[in-house]
Amino acid sequence: MNALGSCKILIADDTKTNIDVLIQALRNDYKLGVALNGSKAIEYVRANHPDLILLDILMPGMSGFEVCQELKQDPETRDIPIIFITAMDSSGHKTKGFEMGAVDYITKPFDITEVKARVKTHLSLKIAQEAMRNQNAILEQKVMERTREIEDAQMEILDRLEKAAEFRDEKTGSHIRRISRYCRLLGKVAGLSPEVCNLLGLASTMHDVGKIGVSDSILLKPGKLTSEERQIMETHTTIGAKLLSGSEHPFLQAAEIIALTHHERWDGTGYPQGLKGEDISLFGRIVCICDVFDALISERPYKASWSVEKTLERISAGSGTAFDPRLAELFADMEPELRKIVEELK
């Protein structure tokens, strides 16, 4: 609605004289419709969606109060302003009319100047409210577009980090992408919201960022690590957490937690803090399972790849010791989806 002249008004009254007076007063300024009873008024409103309704109270069949109540209960029509026009001038009737959602109450006989002024006031207010809603919708759209731009930038940064990881070890990039997919899926079946699953999937890609501080001689060693080398390898959790610490962004905060806790074990024998049970963050517990699964199905310099079936048996065997029992059970039930991810991201 851009101007008063384009506004549609419904006049609902069973008295021809009243209708004629209102038409004479308003026809040069607005588009008008007429209904002679309550049911016809509702039918007209639903078909034409007027911008304002002038509604008599005493009509055959449905009263104006009943018409108002039905229109206000319908989400499609409840925002249409209603002005009661009636000879019923008691304070009780006025109170009831306003309580039912009417915006005004005009008594008969009409003062035409008053009717025109009130109609113009309420239509102007409606135009202003719709303009405000449209402006808010535009602002919300701009915010959504900006949010998508930021998310796209985050994904591009992560993609570049994956490429950097692949430059050092060509198999690492695929590992990161699979971990992200596993985590989103496990988060979903664990009951996390789509927004939290998205955050988990993004943040999980940073779980091994601390390995940047571990030398290639250890990281890519084809044989078993010595005790001293194992201790150095384990520092990737604290190095990663330190690299990611101090941010106020939820993504980096989640990534810090994951980097630090994804090698903790349910029974408290993990590292670096020896956390136990639910003292380990939920994100850390989820990434722990996904990371172990992917490590086992993947070929490494020191081991051959395991089958999905054998790996899931290992996850189930670790339920209650290495892994959160509930998450381990949920993960095992994901076998078809896991096989699909593994096949797509070899």
Question: Does residue 337 share a domain with residue 198?
Answer: yes
Residues spanned by the domain of 272: 169-344
Q: Using alpha carbons, select from 56, 256, 57, 284 the residue that is nearest to residue 183.
A: 284
3-state SS, residue 37: coil
Contacts of 44 (CB under 8 A, 6+ apart): 10, 12, 33, 35, 50
Q: Do residues 291 and 316 touch, judged by C-beta distance below 8 A?
A: no
| Residue 278 counted as domain residue | yes
Burial class (CB in 10 A: 0-12, 13-18, 19+), 52: buried
pLDDT of residue 111: 86
Q: Is this prediction's pTM over 0.75?
A: no
pLDDT of residue 160: 65
Q: Which residues make beta-bridge pairs with 35? A: 12
Question: Does residue 107 share a domain with residue 177?
Answer: no
Question: Does residue 310 share a domain with residue 179?
Answer: yes
Question: Does residue 182 share a domain with residue 105?
Answer: no
Structural domain count of the chain? 2
Q: Which two tokens stand for residue 248?
A: 């106020």
pLDDT of residue 1: 47
3-state SS, residue 274: coil
CA 249 to chain centre: 18
Amino acid at 103: V
- Phi (first) and psi of residue 32, to 5 degrees: -115, 150
pLDDT of residue 155: 65
In Å, how far are 80, 114, 126, 210, 331 from 236, measured between CA atoms?
A: 63, 78, 61, 4, 26
Question: Does residue 188 share a domain with residue 43?
Answer: no
Q: Using alpha carbons, select from 302, 281, 290, 284 the residue that is nearest to residue 342.
A: 290
pLDDT of residue 176: 85
In Å, how far are 38, 51, 55 from 19, measured between CA atoms?
A: 14, 18, 11
Q: How many CA atoms lie within 13 A of 130 on its CB side?
A: 15
Where is the domain boundary, 88, 115, 138?
Answer: 138
For the beta carbon of residue 99, count every other beta carbon within 10 angstroms.
8
CATH number of the domain to which 211 belongs:
1.10.3210.10
Walking along the chain (346 residues) 10 residues at a time, the average pLDDT comes out as: 81 92 92 94 95 92 93 93 86 87 88 91 90 87 83 67 56 78 97 95 90 86 90 95 90 93 97 97 98 90 86 96 97 96 88
Where is the domain boundary, 89, 118, 138?
Answer: 138
Element (H, E) at 11: strand 8-12
